[in-house]
Amino acid sequence: MHQTFDAALEINLLHANQAGADHNRAHFDEWGITCLNVMSSPGAGKTVLLERTLAALNQELKIAVIEGDMTTELDAERLRQYGVPVIAINTGRSCHLDSQMVSGGIHTLAQEYNPSELELVFVENVGNLVCPAEFEVGEHAKVALLSVTEGEDKPLKYPVMFQEADCLLITKTDLAPYLDIDLHRLESNVRQMNPHVRIIPLSAKTGEGLEQWFDWVRTQIQSLQIEELAIQA
Ligand SMILES: Nc1nc2c(ncn2[C@@H]2O[C@H](COP(=O)(O)OP(=O)(O)OP(=O)(O)O)[C@@H](O)[C@H]2O)c(=O)[nH]1
Ligand SMILES: [Mg+2]
């Protein structure tokens, strides 16, 4: 009986979150913004990846970041150094961003900047390999990071994140030679969960894979623009 109640509550919660996510996505669509939701366990390299990305693409694209952290603005402050709008959201005790929190971030963004001038919004989610994958925030695509230090079994143990991801970045590949990690097994475990996900091995330290990541980001923006043109035609 107790279990049934919990399941019903969870379905309602996710249903309400989904409605909010659809509303957020409608705002992004109206402004011509592509939104990418960046997720991983704590410390897999989300903020460093965004730092490298802002440094490389900031001249080419108008980018903003919605930065989710439980308590601090440490990551937001790191990213503000790249001169882009960064809206910080503290989730308090919650281990993920939800669509309502991101809605607040979107409205702050729209008050402080002209959102129609933006092309790309990254959402850096709270470091957690489980919950963020369950809660859409209005993104057009999900990016998951898994660092080589986490072990090749993680796609099997935490399947939802890997099933939901549109792009999986295997990060910190510069550290692989010092670890007992089997990268082929890791990739095959990812494929078992999600046969079609784009996988990019990447090191923010050496730069390996960064160009492929930037190209994937550009492709996301282009495919959304093509979709919009098709809708208008
Ligand atoms: N060797 C190596 N270290 C990296 C790489 N990318 C990130 N790191 C290190 O990993 C640590 C965590 O990086 P962050 O970018 O802060 O990780 P995060 O996922 O944003 O962490 P949270 O926001 O706390 O979840 C830092 O010490 C980074 O310098 C990499 O490609 N190679
Ligand atoms: Mg971070």
pLDDT tens for 34-69 read: 999 999 999 999 999 999 999 999 999 999 999 999
The model's pTM: 0.95
| Cα(152)–Cα(184) distance, integer angstroms | 9
pLDDT at 1: 45
Indicate the top mutation candidate among 40, 47, 78 to test ligand 1's pocket, ranked by most ligand atoms within 8 A of CB: 47
Is the Cβ atom of 204 under 6 angstroms away from ligand 1?
A: yes
Pick the CATH number of 18-232 from 3.90.850.10, 3.90.550.50, 3.40.50.300, 3.30.70.370: 3.40.50.300
51 lines ligand 1 (CB under 6 A): no
pLDDT > 90? residue 9:
no
Q: What is the pLDDT of residues 91-136, one digit of tens each?
A: 999 999 999 999 999 999 999 999 999 999 999 999 999 999 999 9
Mean pLDDT of the region 143-154: 98
Which one of the ligands is nearest to 176 CA? 1
- pLDDT tens-digit readout, 23-34: 999 999 999 999
Find the length of the chain. Answer: 233
Show me where the domains of the chain are located. 18-232
- Give me the pLDDT at residue 5, please: 58
